[in-house]
């Protein structure tokens, strides 16, 4: 591996480790962009017209949209958007979550997205997310994160004669254990101590919460020549990180000072649920930002529509190489391999955003960057995933 590739992987590892859940991922991106000269805008405040040509970002819950406005942009110039998602399949803390079962203290959870349940077994899990507190008559969001506090133990082999036919029941087999009874902790009282953006909060002030479990194992390189990389949440923090570093390099080169287009990173939440939320890609977040940028530029409705028509969005997400132990699950002829470059994902039913024109834009961009790429299409008998693109 080249020195640059190793540096990039190490940077990605640090980024993933700082981003156990979407709310923290959005804040990790925000922190790095602030260090690169971007300033935060708040949606409830009035925005100065200058923001159309500046470097700014907006965080909405677990999503973030950032842009570097081209200094030479005219009315009706377009946007170049890289879209990705901050969330990953997980287990989410339920209401009345502190329970005891036969001497064990457990946390009740429900499934978030289509988690591969066995990947949560027999590993130490942390809890992270946000608490909403009512302080002095005002509601505030506070970010929280614990260390490794829980584990979902697999049934011992001598208690399971079907041990290699693992079938997990979402309700009865997936509650993490985090202590023994009599329990001294309840979940919210415990989380109140683990605020990462300020002082601990009074547990009595907590009126809402979005708390999720994540693997606490740090990402690492491995393999005979250390050319492989293992990490949780690469779907889709790998794309968020790629978009972030691209934007950092773009402004480090002051490319926005000569640009007519506005370059944008849109990292949405809730892709694993189908994107239909106020911070998801099917919700109004991106449009809300584009409309306000358009107003800041003084565009008419027609100029705004022309600007959108002149734009392009690359939907970036994780994809599948051929699995060496399950080759039959892949298309028999389109077989992306390790080291062959990024995938252009194609689906006749538009589960991915690629069409003929999009494929052409991607091919031209890869050629310009000197990067080879491969195509991906599903085996017709396999379910096809989706992404934010459609």
For the record, the structure tokens of 225 come out as: 């020549």
- 91, 115 contact by CB (below 8 A): yes
Is-cis flag, bond preceding 330, omega within 30? Answer: no
Q: Nearer to Zn ion by C-beta: 236 or 275?
A: 236
For Zn ion, which stretch binds (CB under 5 A), given 38-46, 64-72, 114-122, 309-317? 309-317
Q: Report 228-247 residues binding Zn ion (CB under 5 A).
A: 235-236
Q: Nearer to Zn ion by C-beta: 299 or 317?
A: 317
Tell me how many residues contact Zn ion (CB under 5 A).
3
Distance, in Å, from the CA atom of 128 to the CA atom of 141, rounded to the nearest integer, reads 13
Q: Nearer to Zn ion by C-beta: 22 or 53?
A: 22
Among 47, 72, 111, 88, smallest CA distance to 289 is for: 47
Distance, in Å, from the CA atom of 310 to the CA atom of 71, rounded to the nearest integer, reads 17
Q: What is the dihedral of CA 95, 100, 106, 109, to 10 degrees?
A: -30
Distance, in Å, from the CA atom of 200 to the CA atom of 210, rounded to the nearest integer, reads 17
The least CB distance from residue 235 to Zn ion, in Å, is 4
For Zn ion, which stretch binds (CB under 5 A), given 7-15, 38-46, 227-235, 260-268? 227-235
Q: Report 236-295 residues binding Zn ion (CB under 5 A).
A: 236
Q: Nearer to Zn ion by C-beta: 269 or 317?
A: 317
Q: Nearer to Zn ion by C-beta: 61 or 317?
A: 317
339: exposed, middle or buried (Cβ count in 10 Å: 0-12, 13-18, 19+):
exposed
Q: Nearer to Zn ion by C-beta: 187 or 267?
A: 267
215 binds Zn ion (CB under 5 A): no
For Zn ion, which stretch binds (CB under 5 A), given 39-47, 312-320, 346-354, 374-382? 312-320
Instruction: Give the number of other CB atoms < 10 A from CB of residue 94.
Output: 14
The least CB distance from residue 92 to Zn ion, in Å, is 18
For the record, the structure tokens of 276 come out as: 């239909």
Q: Nearer to Zn ion by C-beta: 146 or 315?
A: 315
The least CB distance from residue 172 to Zn ion, in Å, is 28
Q: Nearer to Zn ion by C-beta: 90 or 236?
A: 236
The least CB distance from residue 234 to Zn ion, in Å, is 9
For Zn ion, which stretch binds (CB under 5 A), given 8-16, 104-112, 289-297, 317-325? 317-325
Q: Which of 23, 317, 345, 389 binds Zn ion (CB under 5 A)?
A: 317
Query: What DSSP element (H or E) covers 220?
Result: strand 220-222
The least CB distance from residue 290 to Zn ion, in Å, is 23
The least CB distance from residue 361 to Zn ion, in Å, is 21
Write 52-57 long-range contacts (CB < 8 A, 24+): 52/262, 52/293, 52/296, 52/297, 55/251, 55/256, 57/29, 57/30, 57/33
Q: How many angstroms separate the Cα of 351 from the Cα of each of 69, 234, 278, 357?
A: 30, 20, 21, 16
The least CB distance from residue 348 to Zn ion, in Å, is 20
The least CB distance from residue 117 to Zn ion, in Å, is 18
Distance, in Å, from the CA atom of 348 to the CA atom of 2, rounded to the nearest integer, reads 37
Q: Nearer to Zn ion by C-beta: 177 or 314?
A: 314
The least CB distance from residue 387 to Zn ion, in Å, is 5
Q: Pairing mode, if any, of strands 312-315 and 79-85?
A: parallel
Q: Residue numbers of the site for Zn ion (CB under 5 A)?
A: 235-236, 317
């Amino acid at each position: 591996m080249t020195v640059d590739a190793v540096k990039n992987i190490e940077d990605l590892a640090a980024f993933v480790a700082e981003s156990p859940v979407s709310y923290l991922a959005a804040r990790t991106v925000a922190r790095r962009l602030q260090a690169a000269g971007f300033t935060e805008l708040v949606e409830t405040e009035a925005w100065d017209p200058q923001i159309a040509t500046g470097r700014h970002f907006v965080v909405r819950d677990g999503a973030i949209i950032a842009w570097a406005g081209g200094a030479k942009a005219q009315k009706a110039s377009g946007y170049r958007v890289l879209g990705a998602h901050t969330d990953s399949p997980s287990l989410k803390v339920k209401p009345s979550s502190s329970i005891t079962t036969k001497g064990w203290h457990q946390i009740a959870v429900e499934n978030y997205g289509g988690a591969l349940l066995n990947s949560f077994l027999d590993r130490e899990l942390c809890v992270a997310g946000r608490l909403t507190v009512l302080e002095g008559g005002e509601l505030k969001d506070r970010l929280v994160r614990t260390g490794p506090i829980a584990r979902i133990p697999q049934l011992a082999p001598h208690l399971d004669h079907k041990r290699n036919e693992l079938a997990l029941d979402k309700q009865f087999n997936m509650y993490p254990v985090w202590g023994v009874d009599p329990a001294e902790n309840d979940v919210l009282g415990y989380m109140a101590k683990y605020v990462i953006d300020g002082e601990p909060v009074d547990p009595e002030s907590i009126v809402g919460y979005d708390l999720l479990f994540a693997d606490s194992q740090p990402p690492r390189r491995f393999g005979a020549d250390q050319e492989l990389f293992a990490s949780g949440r690469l779907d889709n923090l790998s794309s968020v990180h790629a978009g972030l570093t691209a934007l950092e390099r773009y402004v480090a080169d002051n490319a926005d000072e000569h640009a007519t287009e506005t370059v944008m990173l849109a990292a949405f939440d809730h892709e694993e649920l189908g994107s239909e939320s106020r911070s998801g890609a099917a919700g109004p977040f991106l449009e809300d930002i584009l409309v306000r940028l358009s107003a800041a530029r003084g565009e008419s409705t027609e100029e705004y529509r022309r600007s959108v028509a002149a734009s392009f969005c690359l939907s970036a997400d994780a994809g599948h190489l051929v699995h060496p132990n399950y080759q039959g699950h892949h298309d028999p002829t389109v077989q992306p391999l390790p080291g062959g470059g990024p995938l252009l994902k194609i689906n006749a039913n538009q589960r991915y955003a690629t069409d003929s024109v999009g494929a052409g834009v991607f091919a031209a961009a890869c050629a310009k960057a000197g990067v080879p790429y491969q195509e991906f299409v599903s085996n017709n008998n396999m379910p096809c995933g989706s992404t934010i693109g459609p």
